[in-house]
Amino acid sequence: MKQINRPLEQSWRGTYTLFKKEVLRFWRVAFQTVASPVLTALLYLLIFSHVLEAHVEVYKGVPYTAFLIPGLIMMSLLQNAFANSSSSLVQSKVMGNIIFILLTPLTYLQFFIAFLAAAIVRALMVGLSIYLVALWFVDLPLVHPLWIFAFAFLGGALLGTFGIIAGIWADKFDQMAAFQNFVIMPLTFLSGVFYSIHSLPPFWQTVSKFNPFFYMIDGFRYGFFGKGDISPWISISVVAAFLFGLAWLALKMLKSGYRLRG
Amino acid sequence: MTIPAIHIEQVHKHFGALRALNGINLTINQGEFFGLLGPNGAGKSTLINILAGLLKPTQGKVSVMGHDVVNDYQAARLSLGVVPQELVFDPFFNVREMLRFQAGYFGRGRENDAWVDEVIENLGLTDKAHTNMRKLSGGMKRRALIAQALAHKPPVIVLDEPTAGVDVELRQMMWGFIKKLNADGHTIILTTHYLEEAETLCERVAMMKQGEIVALDTTANLLNKLAGKNLRLKLAAALPTTLLPLLKSGENGVYTLALTELNQVEYVMSELRKAKLNIEDMQLFEADLEDVFMSLVGGNAGGE
């Protein structure tokens, strides 16, 4: 397809506008999109740390509450990245206002980048908020901040991309809820948010290793404590591979106009 | 030769076994005010969706200002503003924000804000510029929808049933503004339910039926060639059966007869004399686009 000779600035202003609109969209309802997941994570933190603090020590010298926080941050971050792109797309498809974007000269790549970047921004905002609030409860080390950022960013990107795919595919809110409840929730809960997979029987340890969420959470936690179930290099490779695979699929869907253009 | 605003060449669109468009050829010149008419399912919206890049043609080529809508879609879309038929809106933003976003998607920045304000003012949206789209009435939503299509100041504007469910005041305001845009050189393509609108506004019209264009001419030519005259009679008794073939409509003793030639009046009069019928009132008037439409596309008149 022919790319027209437009000043680069003009062409990317479209992408920036869509990104800005997507960020404002969730920011306008920040109680629901940022404050509410932070509160949910804190409730998990209060309940689980109250019940388990005295009984469980996953890593030597790391209190259970401290162990739990990175898991909770990553869980919320991933869920919100997915929720942002998927709900925005499904809502604008159901309402019909997706047409305003489809009528524009934005390329499929620009469309993808804008939705993805907004999902990452919300994910990082939620993650950072939980981290800041959690500091009231416990001292958290930051052994490898770069690993923390890398996993937060790539995790947000992976789930944001997955949200774009789900949002393009789903035609109803019901289908979206099914995605969230039957795919995202089980995969996050069974990924080591609340435990180390070393505490599982061998069979379930193996099963966990097929769950990409496990690598995101384990790598993220490694950044805080310098300890994890597996090497962060393996985790980052797995996350990057999944991200490339899903991004390829999302771009293929957008390029073909699947469920967006007839 | 100047580039046509719209060029459609042998366009087919099939949805499975359904042939929505069957070899459409159409050229609309820059600066025209063009009407696209046809009953439900004639293929008008399908054609507009292909023009807008929302649907891909099964076969054929479509260009906007010389840019192919598939291969050179960015340039084609930059030239085009489409007012969709459905009353869609983004519930998160107010009118001015939506218009600025819409212009931004097309690469327009702050320099475009004056134009956005002009559109807002001309469509009577000034009081509502800071109102959330969700809170606007139906008529106001329609205005905002038109404004959104104009936000990037496109040379070609497509209005798909823009006046459906719109009150008289807004209709007049809207047409005033659209006529001004047309006078400034914008090409306007209109589909409408209201044939009298097409008759007064459009220089040329295409009538579609079952995915084909069945008439394409200037509005004046279509009226001259096909419409003829209407004779309205108020009679004391029923119309003689010999005149039934001319009958277009009739109720409560008022009959409208469609005449293809003026000298048919003489025939009608003689038949009435033979039947010894008194004429209580009589009017002869020009037929309108609706008559042309009915004679071409049959009984299923209306919009899509």
Question: CB–CB of A100 and B90 under 8 A?
Answer: yes
The listed range with the strongest mean pLDDT (B94-108, B161-175, B216-230) is B94-108
For the domain bounded by B229-286, which CATH number is listed? 3.30.70
- Asked if B49 reaches chain A (Cβ–Cβ under 8 Å), the answer is yes
CB contact under 8 A, A104 and B77: yes
Q: Which H/E stretch holds residue B247?
A: strand B247-251
Which chain B residues are Cβ-neighbours of A29 within 8 angstroms?
92
Chain B: residue whose CA lies nearest to A256: B56
Split at pLDDT 50, 70, 90, the class of A243 is very high
What is the predicted pLDDT for the residue at B220? 83
**CA distance linking residue B49 with residue B34, whole number of Å:** 17
- 58-97 in chain A: CB under 8 A from chain B: 92, 95-97
Read off the tokens for B218. 């200037």
Identify the pLDDT of residue B304.
40
* Cβ-based contacts of A257 with chain B (< 8 Å): 56
Q: Looking at the predicted structure, is the pLDDT value of residue B221 above 90?
A: no
What is the share, in percent, of chain A residues with pLDDT greater than 70?
A: 97
Kindly determine whether residue A14 and residue B104, on different chains, have CB atoms separated by under 8 Å.
yes
pLDDT reported for residue B284: 84
Interchain CB contact of B102 with A (< 8 Å): yes
Which pLDDT belongs to residue B298?
67
Confidence band for B74, pLDDT divided at 50, 70 and 90: very high
| Residue bearing the bigger pLDDT, A260 or B41 | A260
Q: Which of A3, A100, A107 sits opposite B102 (nearest CB)?
A: A100
Which chain A residue shows the shortest CA-CA distance from B16? A262
Whether the per-residue pLDDT at B128 is higher than 90: the answer is yes
Annotate chain A with DSSP letters as a single string: -PPP---HHHHHHHHHHHHHHHHHHHHHTHIIIIIHHHHHHHHHHHHHHHHHTTT--SSTT--HHHHHHHHHHHHHHHHHHHHHHHHHHHHHHHHSTTHHHHTS---HHHHHHHHHHHHHHHHHHHHHHHHHHHTTT-----S-HHHHHHHHHHHHHHHHHHHHHHHHH--SHHHHHHHIIIIIHHHHHTTTSSS-GGGS-HHHHHHHTT-HHHHHHHHHHHHHHS--SS-HHHHHHHHHHHHHHHHHHHHHHHHHTTTT--
Place of tokens 């004391």: B236
Q: Taking CB atoms and an 8 Å cutoff, what residues of chain A touch B71?
A: 1-2
Report the pLDDT value the prediction gives residue A195, as an integer from 0 to 100: 86
B6-223 architecture in CATH?
3-Layer(aba) Sandwich (3.40)
| pLDDT bucket at B296, cuts 50 / 70 / 90 | confident
Q: Is there a contact between B53 and A17 if contact means CB atoms under 8 Å apart?
A: no
Return the residue of A nearest to B148 by Cα.
Answer: A100
Q: End-to-end alpha-carbon separation of chain B, Å?
A: 34
* pLDDT at residue A4 in the model: 56
Average pLDDT over residues A14-42: 96
**Average pLDDT in the A50-79 region?**
89
Nearest CB neighbour to A103, from listed B52, B104, B108: B52
Distance CA A155, CA A184 (A): 13
A3 pLDDT above the threshold of 60: no
Neighbouring C-beta atoms of residue A98, cutoff 10 Å: 20
Cβ(B63)–Cβ(B7) below 8 Å = yes
Is the Cβ pair B101, A17 closer than 8 Å? yes
Could you tell me what percent of chain B has a pLDDT over 70?
96
Q: How many other C-beta atoms are found inside a 10 Å radius of the C-beta of residue B172? A: 10
Out of A1, A29, A101, the one facing B105 most closely (by C-beta) is A101
Mutate to test the interface with B, among A5, A17, A32 (most CBs of B within 10 A): A17
Tell me: pLDDT of B113 over 70: yes
Q: Does residue B63 sit at the A interface (CB-CB below 8 Å)? A: no
Mean pLDDT in residue range B74-87? 95
Looking at the DSSP bridge assignments, the partners of residue B190 are B35, B159
**What mean pLDDT, rounded, does chain B reach?**
90
Residues 6+ apart with CB under 8 A from B165: B138, B139, B142
How many angstroms separate the CA of residue A180 from the nearest CA in chain B? 23
- Residue A109 contacts B where some CB pair is shorter than 8 Å: no
Kindly indicate the confidence band of residue B226, based on its pLDDT and cuts at 50, 70 and 90. Answer: low
* CA nearest neighbour of B275 among B217, B220, B236, B247: B236
Residue of A nearest to B54 (CA): A261
Boundaries of every domain in chain A: 31-50+58-256
**Rounded Cα distance, A51 and A59, in Å:** 18
Radius of gyration of chain A (CA): 19
- Dist CA A256 CA A24 (whole Å): 28
Chain A interface test: which of B101, B145, B148 (most A C-beta within 10 Å) = B101
In chain A, what residues touch B77 (CB-CB under 8 Å)?
103-105
pLDDT band at A211 (very low <50, low <70, confident <90, very high): very high
Q: Chain B contacts of A259, Cβ < 8 Å?
A: none
Distance from CA of B149 to the nearest CA of A (A): 9
Beta carbons of A28 and B104 less than 8 Å apart: no
Inter-chain CB proximity B92 and A24 less than 8 Å: yes
pLDDT > 90 in chain A, percent: 79
Residues 6+ apart with CB under 8 A from A32: none
B60 sits in the region (left: phi over 0; alpha: psi -120 to 50; else beta) called left
Output the pLDDT for position B77. Answer: 97
CA distance B115 to B106: 14
Mean pLDDT value of segment A160-182: 95
Q: What is the pLDDT of residue A2?
A: 57
Please indicate whether residue B260 or residue B144 has the higher confidence score (pLDDT).
B144
The B229-235 sheet, strands edge to edge = B247-251, B254-259, B229-235, B279-286
Q: Nearest CA of chain A to the CA of B89: how many Å?
A: 5
Q: With an 8 Å Cβ cutoff, is B18 touching chain A?
A: no
pTM listed for this prediction: 0.89
Write the single-letter amino acid at B225: K
- The predicted model gives A244-256 an average pLDDT of 97
Average pLDDT over residues B170-175: 87
* Whether B82 and A103 lie within 8 Å, measured CB to CB: yes
Q: Which residues pair with B259 in a beta bridge?
A: B229
Alpha helices in chain B (DSSP H): 44-51, 73-78, 95-105, 113-122, 138-150, 168-183, 195-201, 219-222, 264-274, 289-297
Residue A137 has pLDDT above 90, yes or no: no
Residues of B in contact with A6 (CB under 8 A): 74, 78, 107
* Amino acid in position A168: I
Confidence bin at B1 (pLDDT 50/70/90)? low
Average of per-residue pLDDT across B150-169 = 89
> Per the structure block, which two tokens stand in for B121?
């003012």
CB contact under 8 A, B82 and A104: no
Closest residue, chain B, to A26 (C-alpha) = B92
Could you state, in order of their start, the residue ranges of all structural domains in chain B? 6-223, 229-286
pLDDT beyond 50 at B302: no
Residue of A21, A25, A33 to mutate when probing chain B, most B C-beta within 10 A? A21
The pLDDT of residue B245 is: 87
Say if residue A118's pLDDT is above 70.
yes
